[in-house]
Structure 1
Amino acid sequence: MRRVLAGCLAVSALGASLPAAASECGYTAAGWNAPNGAVVFSRSNDGPIRNVIDAIGEFRTHSMLSHGPTGGVTHATMKDPAQNNWPTVCGTPLVASQLQYGYPGLEQVNQGGIYHYLYDANGHGPDWTAWQLGDPAGAARIANSLWFNHPYVSDVSRVDGSQRIDRPLWNGSRVPYSLFQYRDLESAHEVPGSAANNGMVCSTFLAYAHVYAGKGAVSAYTYPHEVTANAANSVHWGVHGQCKESLGWFENVALNVICPVFWNVCTNAGNQVANCMSANRCDTSTSVIWREVRDDPNATATSISPDRIGGWGVHPSNVTLWASDYSHQLQWNSGGNVYGCWQ
């Protein structure tokens, strides 16, 4: 569940486009060493998802399904949502539809694509990466079921139209990245299953893949109210801080400069993202919605995190077939020179 630095977040009032902060396409000189069926984990160095994971006392922020050292990768992610045009941006900073239905969502990319998802044009990437396999035969069955048997639609990269990216389908439709999954995964981890926005995040997708391949249901975990409230506060203030510093989803765009001070634009940004994650209300920057969740002593969150997929912390080592394994260092050491895109 890595927060992606996906590139230009230009506000029309600035009158200029800004250079991309990440590399959406490019080459990798080698494939990774994660076997077919392994789950690859990473820990991002900042962003709203890192805020949530830290607040709930866990470590891993993103998880991906490997289809082998020279194969593809299936994962769910989202690029930075665009900002609204001025003056709307001052009251509702982010485009609600992009925040609610994160693009690209569930996708299958090659080694070039996943390398440039993890590492930007300057070679900067996550703080930590590793993979787990557990039961090799069972893990391979999960990967092969998703690669060979699951319905999908073929698409092309928005950055380089020559590059194919497959989109697995769920309930007959594409699967966006849904921030509300952090509050309530509903039945995304079941077959047939359903969820708000027909959405998943990286780890709820892996739980779905586990049961889809016949390897058993992955039970969800309910976080108590105090942890849920802490996560809501962390998301709000984390986004607020990045906005103030023109970082993360607001990189190089000084909203606190172009918007009048009475708009409290960075507070609005924090409210909007917290509302989206806590109540699936991505179209408003009122503080009432997310604070109602934070202040309700009966409010909890039920989901499946990357740490649960891997069996770490409070999560048992038999919750998935990957969880019995330890963390292996991720290396890019197989032969090849592969070009690809992740969006």
Structure 2
Amino acid sequence: MRRVLAGCLAVSALGTTFPAAASECGYTAAGWNAPNGAVVFSRSDEGPIRNVIDAIGEFRTHSMLSHGATGGVTHATMRDPDQNSWPTVCGTPLNINQLRDGYPGLEQINQGGIYHYLYDANGHGPDWTAWQLGDATGAARIADSLWFNHPYASDVSRVDGSQLIDRPLWNGARVPYSLFQYRDVESAHQIPGGAANNGMMCSSFLAYAHNYAGRGLVTTHTYPHEVIANASNTIHWGVHGQCKESLGWFENAALTVICPVFWNVCTNAGNQVANCMSANRCDTSSSVIWKGVRDDPNATATSISPDRIGGWSVHPVSTTLWASDYSHQLQWNSGGNVYGCWQ
């Protein structure tokens, strides 16, 4: 029998998936109202993921698997990557390894952890949250298969060493968060499947979980060239703008002060993130890579978005067993309290 999680991990969501979370550990009501097996969706207001989702004309920026009203949560997410030290930061602003292999990646946290992942100390959080269940029996089977049958490893929270966090393993290894999954999901939704960096993002993980529990293959969606060209521009200029305004990943940073103006550090930041998402080249700020994808009329993107998991936008309600349901309001409304962390 799998132990019940006593703690959790907190991550500063990169707008799927990444909310503006400031408090990493804390208490919340003992549980939310999302049943076992439900997918919980959110829409956050910052970060490259929001840039991507808006550019492709979709809505949901993050998706999570509920293990019940007082249970844990399984999701894939990523904390804000650190900035490189001076003078490297001027040419390659963001830590390459953290950008490519997002931490914590795939994790299982408790109710305290997921609340403080979504909401900061001032109660600021996503613009919107909801859950969908659909086939209740099938959905519960997905959640229970992940919780009781799937291999995992445990370690402690980076914030509170008293809190253990479980991390499901894939292909025998930890699963980092991969920005490249938004361009090419590869075979992450298949069994056994595989992907660059052994990585997933939030919705490719849910597609994998759906298949792992025997509920069927979640098919991919191919976005045409004009859509990904628009997304490429939006990612670059979105990151550039946040850097200039010291927002998002660049909050409290003085990059435009410490770097000589001829370095164009915020342009480099936009190039680095666009390269990472379009070609898995997180190690360079050359604009040639992402612009090569943008300007190639044959370039497309094949992925699985949170909207596809929920059967919204252009995606059919037959895509997953959750998609036949409508959106239910997410609430933390049970008695007691639970302490947890999100990283």
Shorter-chain TM-score category? over 0.9
User: Cα offset for 1:336?
Assistant: 2.0
Match of 2:273, SS?
A: helix
Contact 1:78 1:177 in 2 (8 A): yes
| Amino acid paired to 2:188 | A
User: Cα offset for 1:60?
Assistant: 0.1
Q: Counterpart in 2 of 1:151?
A: 151
Contact 1:44 1:126 in 2 (8 A): yes
Give distance in 1, aligned partners of 2:313 and 2:284: 35
Contact 2:24 2:341 in 1 (8 A): yes
How many residues matched?
328
| Residue 84 (str. 1) matches residue 100 (str. 2) | no
Contact 1:139 1:321 in 2 (8 A): yes
Contact 1:40 1:63 in 2 (8 A): yes
| Residue 202 (str. 1) matches residue 202 (str. 2) | yes
Percentage identity across paired residues of the two chains = 85
Match of 2:153, SS?
A: strand
Give distance in 2, aligned partners of 1:154 and 1:2: 23
Contact 2:20 2:118 in 1 (8 A): no
Q: Counterpart in 2 of 1:221?
A: 221
Give distance in 2, aligned partners of 1:79 and 1:96: 14
Unaligned runs of 5+ in 1: 7-21
User: Cα offset for 1:30?
Assistant: 3.6
Contact 1:4 1:78 in 2 (8 A): no
Output one character per residue of 1:86-126: Cα deviation in whole Å (capped at 9) or x when no partner: 11100000000000000000000000000000001111000
Contact 2:43 2:62 in 1 (8 A): yes
| Amino acid paired to 2:159 | V
Q: Counterpart in 2 of 1:286?
A: 286
Q: Counterpart in 1 of 2:96?
A: 96
Match of 1:39, SS?
A: strand
Q: Counterpart in 2 of 1:341?
A: 341
Q: Counterpart in 2 of 1:112?
A: 112
TM-score scaled by length of structure 1:
0.95
Contact 1:165 1:342 in 2 (8 A): no
Give distance in 1, aligned partners of 2:105 and 2:19: 12
User: Cα offset for 1:335?
Assistant: 1.5
Give distance in 2, aligned partners of 1:72 and 1:130: 17
Contact 1:92 1:284 in 2 (8 A): yes
Q: Counterpart in 2 of 1:232?
A: 232
Contact 2:31 2:333 in 1 (8 A): yes
| Amino acid paired to 2:226 | E
| Amino acid paired to 1:51 | N
User: Cα offset for 1:5?
Assistant: 4.0
Give distance in 2, aligned partners of 1:198 and 1:311: 26
Output one character per residue of 1:6-40: Cα deviation in whole Å (capped at 9) or x when no partner: 6xxxxxxxxxxxxxxx1111110341100000000
Q: Counterpart in 1 of 2:123?
A: 123
| Amino acid paired to 1:336 | G
| Amino acid paired to 2:178 | S
Q: Counterpart in 2 of 1:3?
A: 18
Q: Counterpart in 2 of 1:250?
A: 250
| Amino acid paired to 1:50 | R
Give distance in 2, aligned partners of 1:209 and 1:264: 42
User: Cα offset for 1:47?
Assistant: 1.0
User: Cα offset for 1:292?
Assistant: 0.1
Give distance in 2, aligned partners of 1:281 and 1:106: 21
Contact 2:20 2:125 in 1 (8 A): no
| Amino acid paired to 1:285 | S
Output one character per residue of 1:256-294: Cα deviation in whole Å (capped at 9) or x when no partner: 111110000000000000000000000100000000000
Contact 2:20 2:46 in 1 (8 A): no
Contact 2:19 2:125 in 1 (8 A): no
Match of 1:219, SS?
A: coil
Output one character per residue of 1:154-206: Cα deviation in whole Å (capped at 9) or x when no partner: 11100001001100000000000000000001000000000000000000000
Contact 2:259 2:265 in 1 (8 A): yes
Alignment of 1:41-60 (within 5 A): 41-60=41-60
Unaligned runs of 5+ in 2: 1-15
Q: Counterpart in 2 of 1:138?
A: 138
Question: RMSD across aligned C-alpha pairs, in angstroms?
Answer: 0.7
User: Cα offset for 1:4?
Assistant: 4.4
| Amino acid paired to 2:111 | Q
